[in-house]
């Protein structure tokens, strides 16, 4: 048998091999840790990207939902406003109806009491309308009422004036801050406007317009107006109530 020489490899070979093995294992472990770190970073990046996409999707869905809710809300408000307008608008003449008149009278009456200002109330009635309606038919009668309503609304142009169809062939208007003299002038103006409308003969008589009035501090509103009674007819085709 030969004899191995004495040197570092023969004396410390086992330790050197173990050290080299540990070094290689350390490199392998470091590489594995590096690979795992990179995989973790890629996974985190993917998660962040997915999270960002999810957040963007949720935000977009939220915006779309808010927009739809806003559109539905606006549509509902428009429908409610339309229903409210329909509930206070006379379907035939397209002016205020009795319900709106009652609410307007209550509001203006309270305001007149608070401010100690006059409030004029006039009730107008179309004479011989039933006979006119029977002779010429309901379509002609409806057209007549619409024309009268349009004329009243056009004549009472102040923002504080209010006109409504009280019922049947009766109309009513309110004029806040208007004394008795001013109310009479406005009533005469309405009569003059009515006189310009085209009139059809009806058994040698024409449809007449009666204008009721109650101005100044009107007491109990329409009840006070009714309490004024009827005056005797005067010549012509209009008379006061």
CA distances from 106 to 20, 50, 162, 222, 230 (A): 105, 63, 13, 10, 25
Give yes or no for a contact between 188 and 156, defined as CB atoms under 8 angstroms apart. Answer: no
Does the annotation count 169 as an active-site position?
A: yes
CA distance 88 to 190: 23
The DSSP code for 92 is: T
Half-sphere exposure of 204 (CA within 13 A, CB side): 0
Half-sphere exposure of 147 (CA within 13 A, CB side): 14
Strands 238-240 and 119-127: unpaired
Q: What are phi and psi of 81, to 5 degrees?
A: -65, -40
Q: Which of 71, 84, 169, 208 is catalytic?
A: 169
CA distance 225 to 222: 5
CA distance 197 to 200: 10
> Which helix (H) or strand (E) is 180 found in, with range?
helix 180-195
CA distance 144 to 56: 62
Positions marked catalytic? 169
């Amino acid at each position: 048998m030969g004899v191995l020489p004495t040197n570092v490899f023969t004396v410390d070979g086992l330790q050197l091999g173990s050290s080299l093995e540990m070094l290689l294992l350390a490199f392998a472990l470091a590489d594995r840790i590096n690979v795992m770190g990179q995989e973790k970073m890629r996974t985190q990046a993917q998660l962040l990207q997915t999270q960002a996409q999810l957040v963007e999707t949720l935000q977009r869905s939220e915006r779309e939902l808010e927009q739809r809710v806003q559109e539905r809300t606006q549509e509902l408000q428009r429908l409610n406003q339309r229903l409210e307008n329909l509930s206070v608008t006379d379907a035939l003449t397209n002016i205020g109806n009795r319900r709106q008149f009652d609410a307007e009278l209550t509001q203006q009456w309270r305001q007149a009491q608070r401010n100690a200002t006059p409030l004029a109330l006039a009730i107008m009635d179309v004479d011989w309308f039933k006979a006119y309606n029977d002779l010429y038919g309901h379509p002609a009668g409806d057209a007549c009422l619409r024309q009268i309503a349009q004329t009243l609304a056009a004549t009472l142009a102040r923002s504080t004036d209010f006109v409504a169809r009280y019922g049947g062939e009766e109309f009513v208007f309110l004029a806040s801050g208007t004394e008795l003299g001013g109310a009479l002038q406005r009533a005469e103006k309405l009569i003059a406007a009515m006189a310009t409308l085209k009139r059809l003969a009806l058994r040698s008589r024409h449809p007449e317009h009666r204008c009721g009035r109650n101005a100044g501090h009107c007491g109990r509103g329409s009840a006070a107006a009714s309490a004024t009674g009827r005056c005797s007819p005067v010549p012509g085709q209009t008379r006061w109530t």
